[in-house]
Amino acid sequence: MDIKSSVIKKNTRQPNLFAEIFKGFFKEKIVFLLLFLIFITALAVVQVTHASRQELILQDQLLQQRDDLDLQWRYLLVEQEFYAQHVRIEEIAKTKLQMKRPQSKDEQVVILP
């Protein structure tokens, strides 16, 4: 009763509501702590959800990038295979570079001991 009476304004019997609630908080320490924790975890949930979404977006981008690179790689592979065709290389070696297949008389076999 004495606490209640203390917050009553001097010239009126009406209690100061804000002060009353504020005081009440500190009185129930555990409840206050829990309330505080709820706030923190709520914010944390928001934060984590946001972070996970960012990660997901990034993952999606990376997966997309992987598929794009795979596509590019396949086209490059085909291109490389085109230039690396046996017939084409032989043609260039023979005509442009004047190369020829070695005959046995040009060969020197080295036998290791």
Partner 1 sequence: MRNVQRKKIKSNFHRGRFIIVCFCISAVFIGLAARAAYIQIIKPDLAINESNKRTLRVKKLHVQRGMIFDRSGKELAVSVPVVSVYVDPKALNEGLVAKVLKQAKKQGENAKLLAKNELLLAKRVKEHYQQDIRWQELADVLRVKQNKIDRRLVGDPTKRFIYLQRQITPAVADYIKRLKLPGIYLIDESKRYYPAGEVTAHVLGFTDIDGKGIEGMEKLFNKALTGTDGRRTYRKDAQGREVEILDERERVEPESINLSIDQRIQAIAYKALKSAVLSYKATSGSAMVVDVKTGEILAMVNSPSFNPNNLSNAMPHKRRNRAITDLFEPGSTVKPLAILAGLEYGTINDNEIVNTSPGYMRMGGSMVRDPRNNGKMTLRQIIQKSSNMGVAKITKEVPKDFVVGLYEKVGFGEDTGTNMIGETSGLFTPRRRWSDFEIATLSFGYALAISTAQLARFYATLGSGGISRPLTILKQDEPMHGERIMAQKNVHAVLEMMESVFEKGGTAPNVKLDGYRVAAKTGTSKKAIAGGYGDEYVNYFAGVGPVSDPRLSIVVMVNEPSGDEYYGATTTGPAFSEIMSGALRILNVAPDLNTVAMTKIGADHG
Binding site for partner 1 (CB under 8 A): 53, 56-57, 59-60, 70-71, 74-75, 77-78, 81-82, 84-87, 101-105, 107-113
Q: Write down the least CB distance from residue 76 to partner 1, Å.
A: 10
Q: Write down the least CB distance from residue 52 to partner 1, Å.
A: 9
Q: Given its phi and psi angles, is residue 98 left (phi above 0), alpha (psi -120 to 50 degrees) or beta?
A: left
Dihedral sign for Cα atoms in the order 48, 50, 56, 61: negative
CA dihedral of residues 6, 36, 30, 2 (deg, nearest 10): 0
Q: Write down the least CB distance from residue 51 to partner 1, Å.
A: 12
